[in-house]
Amino acid sequence: MIAVVGGQAIGWMWVGPALVVVGLLIIGYATVNLARRGRKSPRMGAGSAAGRILDERYARGEIDEQDYRQRRSMLP
């Protein structure tokens, strides 16, 4: 049973603080994820933009296998 004092239900008094805690947890989670993304090093390699472009050029036949392997080996 919910007690009513001055027209307000006392049983709902926990909702406000709970929403604040949930909001703080969401903000903290977002902050941690953004910080982790910012620390990623911009290294070249198979997943880099240069590597993807090289893969695409090889797939389209713009460069041959020898040229592809030589350029791929130059990526760190």
DSSP annotation of 14 reads: T
Residue 41 has pLDDT above 60, yes or no: no
Lowest mean pLDDT among 34-38, 49-53, 64-68: 34-38
Q: What is the spatial distance between Cα 29 and Cα 63, in angstroms, rounded to a whole number?
A: 45
Q: How far apart are CA 3 and CA 24, in angstroms?
A: 29
pLDDT at 44: 46
Instruction: Classify 2 as helix, strand or coil.
Output: coil
Q: For residue 40, what pLDDT band results from cuts at 50, 70 and 90?
A: low
